[in-house]
Structure 1
Amino acid sequence: MASQHFNNVLSKGKIIMSGMVLLWACVLLTPSKAVAFQDDPSVDFNQYQGEVVDESTNRPLVFATLSVEGTNISTITNTEGNFLLKVPKDITNANVIVSFLGYKSKTLPLSTLDPEKNKISLLISITELSEININAPKDATALVKETLARKNENYFDDPTLMTAFYRETIRKRRKNVSLSEAVVSVYKSPYNSIRKDAVELYKARKSTDYSKLDTVALKLQGGPYNALYVDIMKYPEFLFDDGSISNYKFSFDRSTRINDRLIYVIKFDQRETILDPLYHGELFIDVENKTLTSATYSLNITDRDLASQLFVRRKPVGVDVWPTEVSYRVDYREKNGKWYYGYSSVILEFKVDWEDRLFNSVYSMTAEMAVTDWEPNITGKLPKNRERIRKSIILSDEAIGFSDPDFWGEYNIIEPERSIESAIKKIQRQLRRIERRGK
């Protein structure tokens, strides 16, 4: 069973390394329009920017959620705690709920937010020890099994059409060298259904500075599906299911709070007797409802060559490539007593060893996706096969250009990091110079 479970890793992201290509002057790609979006010029929105921080330390809170109460509109903060929230102008009296794992949620009237430089501070939520011991489960493994078994009643049981923002970033050490972004429609099947989710591309763009890539271009195969398959409750086979859960040992670690609800943190790791590299990490489970609210986990990389076979599909001759980190994160959100997939990320770090060079290179690839709006998929229909994104997609090959300043319109995105933003501006200047020379 361990080997069969281990093979599921093959469906996660793979990288492709190819020879250097020329940096071309790019134009905007306009993919076929998805059902979830309508280009209506009459639609207008208000935009709010700012940061979410720890009230006592002023430390930025990464991946904090901002949701507009009474709607399905939401966004998250980036790795610097910054956010960008777009709200239709006809929504004026709503509240914005700001939440973060282990902190007290804060509700703010939309009317109190400024267009820019909002600073929202959250207080740590303290869990009393006496509270933890009340009706506490005694068996961590049993709690995990019950949580997985109750997905039919705790998670969306109707087809849902989600609007999501997806981003892939490639860094060489600390320098951003490539960025691909997309707005996609996710046709989310009910959690009690074996039907797989489908993804349709709406808009996409990219920017790559090939001069920093050591004469190789790294590409991530799978695109949005890499992030989508981190949804453990929909795809337990990629982490553990009935057949493989016995390969892990589970233990209680600590307790915390999400939206004033008591959350147990369950640590897990593979058993010493299992030789195939599996995972270790943490599960955040709502004690009262037995609901998985968040999870973070990483692959145990014990065999460098075996890990390379799993994640590297193609590479140039004379180059040795192996992963040094493979990490995942998934967060769920709740509305009207039902939970749904809200955000996920994948981090892949690789070492590239050149046969004829003294020093090796370190690259990291991050793929993340955030659901920014959703609506019931009343018909339950999925897009036609020719309209769906292929599971083998390489997004950077499908998207070209950063030429449209109003590219994203009213759609919520993950605010770019300052380093990414500056890299984009630099590459934009390069493209403009190339375009001018070509005239």
Structure 2
Amino acid sequence: MKTPLADRIRPKTLDEVVGQKHLIGEGKILRNIIENDEVPNMIFYGPSGVGKTTIANIIAQKTGKTLHRLNATTASVADIKNIVSTLDSFLAMDGVLLYLDEIQHFNKKQQQSLLEFMENGKITLIASTTENPYFYVYNAVLSRSVVFEFKQIEPSEIEKALERAVEELKESDYKGFDVTVDKDAIRHMAHVSNGDVRKALNSLEVAFIATPPNKDKKIHISLDTAVQATQKKAMRYDRDGDSHYDILSAFQKSIRGSDPDAAVHYLARLVSAGDLPSICRRLLVISAEDIGLAYPQAISVVKACVDSALQLGFPEARIPLAEAVILLATAPKSNSAIMAIDSALSDIESMDTGDIPEHLKDSHYGGAKKLGHGTEYKYPHSYENHYVKQQYLPNNIRDTKYYDFGDNKTEQSAKVYWDRIKKGN
């Protein structure tokens, strides 16, 4: 039986692993742990197909420990006892590394059966889970382990794995054949895999199986072949190309224009392309740029939705993302904040705005009074309504106005309040 492509090209070193640079990049914590050969009990938390098993294999090779694999969906306490029986034998001279996949399916008794051996160091546990370990792993195991969160793989990184897989197929299964794979096909498989390298590699393998060589020994994997292999519609979408920015532009303009139907449509395009990072970033920008002070709580709600989406991954991520989009599209709008900061930045870049007024300078050090720093400052909280009129802008721009209250209910309420307070000063 032929070994699956994903296993055949499984990385042997950390440098070959795609993604997870926040953990295994140069100088990052997990890489340092592995290279120092002092591996603690660990829990790898993240979606499927992002390198958890691969890195566990690399750790086993690096440490020289005997690697045992168990899947908690089918394993039992008896399986753990069988592993324990090998301890102190010739087969486990350097200890055992137990890779326990889907640990959330072990009950409390099963998880506790590992504790004694985790504590004496005879078993080094690397448990993996797609669920939040703080909810599904018992405290006794959790407190003896270091949790590492694995992220979805960026499509650009998945493309690298697919290109490496194509080279592997050329050198093995299709040696002597003229093999070509369209860039669009690689890009499509990377984008529709939702950050799962294994899924993308499986799609590539299916594409090759479904494409027999012609009489001239040529094999060509086209975009159409990739679409059939993934069973997902191809979108005109290139993260570094015009279509990417066109969709994002239409997405933001639809929200800004308060059209929830169009906004959800363009969200669906982005979701179909698997572009979670761009969606999340753009929603946070829109919260501040287009809704702004008209509904200042929006950014907090959107941040919660974004965090949920990043933790859930697709397909479930579409739900909090839709919630955020509809909230923003139907919220009152104000661009007063971005207009104010951009106007201030323009002055700083184009003119001499002058020095900070003396009474506003730091006075919390010896000698400040001799320099006249802070001596004439009026503390607003000492005055009625916590306000007193004094100059805050530098002399060169003392009468400049950057912020204009928006015409929405929230900002107009603030305007009425401050007009009343400042009228008597």
Give the structure with the larger strand fraction. Answer: 1
TM-score of the pair, normalised by structure 1: 0.19
Greater RCO (CA < 8 Å, at least 6 residues apart): 1
Give the structure with the larger helix fraction. Answer: 2
From the CA coordinates, give the structure whose radius of gyration is larger.
Answer: 2
